[in-house]
């Protein structure tokens, strides 16, 4: 009698990484990399990126951080393509016409790294399991919010927190509650 082992279903883990000001802004301008985050946050961010196989990013964030993102396997969410278009390690993909979950299912872990439209899209598609939210001790009074008009409220459960520096930068680690 032969026994066949069942293969476990592969479940991609989706982790959003975001830095915000104390008034909830991810940037002053969608076309520029944030230069207001602390060195400790950058170190934390880079450490978390080492744990993922690919990143998902919005088109504006990609343009602002092309130098960094093009070094990774990346999926750029954009409405300007009808089918996925690969350019080296970067693939431009339209989540309105492509089954994003199916495309990304080949990876064990995906990092969602911004901007606001990318976070909204991934949350709305149910493709976010965890959120690491760095809160920097700065207030802008204006700028881009973390989430733009999500279809449903995003329910979160705090898993942990960590202070990164003496200035008061903290990281909150949430699990998305379904």
Confidence of residue 35 (pLDDT cuts 50, 70, 90): confident
Taking the C-alpha atoms of residue 55 and residue 44, their distance in angstroms, rounded to an integer, is: 16
CA–CA separation, 64 and 1 (whole Å) = 59
For residues 29-54, average pLDDT = 89
Could you give the C-alpha distances from 118 to 34, 77, 95, in angstroms and in order?
A: 16, 7, 10
For residue 40, give both structure tokens.
């400790």
Round to whole Å and give the CA distance between 116 and 122. Answer: 10
What integer pLDDT is reported at residue 30 of this predicted model?
A: 64
Q: Is the dihedral of CA 48, 49, 53, 58 positive or negative?
A: positive
Q: Going from the N-terminus, what domains does the chain have, and what CATH number goes with each?
A: 13-176 (3.40.430.10)
Taking all residues of the chain, what is their mean pLDDT, rounded to a whole number? 91
More confident residue, 127 or 5: 127
Whether residue 61 has pLDDT greater than 50: yes
Q: What are the residue ranges of helices labelled H in 50-167? A: 59-64, 66-69, 100-104, 116-124
The C-alpha atoms of residue 77 and residue 81 are separated, in whole angstroms, by: 9
**Residues facing residue 57 across a β-bridge:** 76
pLDDT score for 46 = 95
pLDDT of residue 37 exceeding 60, the answer is yes
The phi, psi pair for 153, rounded to 5°, reads: -60, 145
Where residue 76 falls among pLDDT bands split at 50, 70, 90?
Answer: very high
The predicted model scores a pTM of 0.90
Q: What is the pLDDT of residue 33?
A: 66
Give CA angle at 150 (146, 154), nearest 5°. 80
Q: Which residue has the higher pLDDT, 60 or 147?
A: 60
Locate all alpha helices (DSSP H) within the chain, ordered by sequence.
39-49, 59-64, 66-69, 100-104, 116-124
């Amino acid at each position: 009698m032969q026994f066949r082992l069942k293969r476990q279903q592969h479940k991609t883990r989706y982790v959003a990484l975001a830095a915000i000001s104390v008034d909830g802004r991810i940037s002053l301008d969608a076309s520029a990399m944030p230069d207001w985050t602390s060195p400790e946050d950058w170190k934390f961010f880079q450490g978390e990126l080492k744990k993922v196989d690919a990143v998902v990013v919005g088109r504006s964030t990609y343009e602002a951080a092309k130098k960094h993102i093009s070094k990774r396997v990346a999926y750029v969410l954009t409405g300007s393509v009808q089918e996925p278009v690969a350019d080296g390690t970067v693939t431009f993909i339209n989540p309105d016409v492509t089954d994003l979950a199916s495309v990304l299912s080949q990876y064990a872990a995906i990092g969602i790294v911004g901007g606001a439209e990318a976070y909204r899209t991934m949350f709305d598609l149910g493709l976010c399991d965890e959120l690491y939210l760095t809160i920097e001790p700065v207030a802008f009074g204006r700028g881009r919010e973390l989430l733009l008009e999500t279809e449903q409220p995003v329910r979160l459960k705090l898993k942990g927190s960590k202070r990164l520096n003496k200035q008061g930068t903290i990281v909150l680690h949430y699990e998305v509650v379904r």
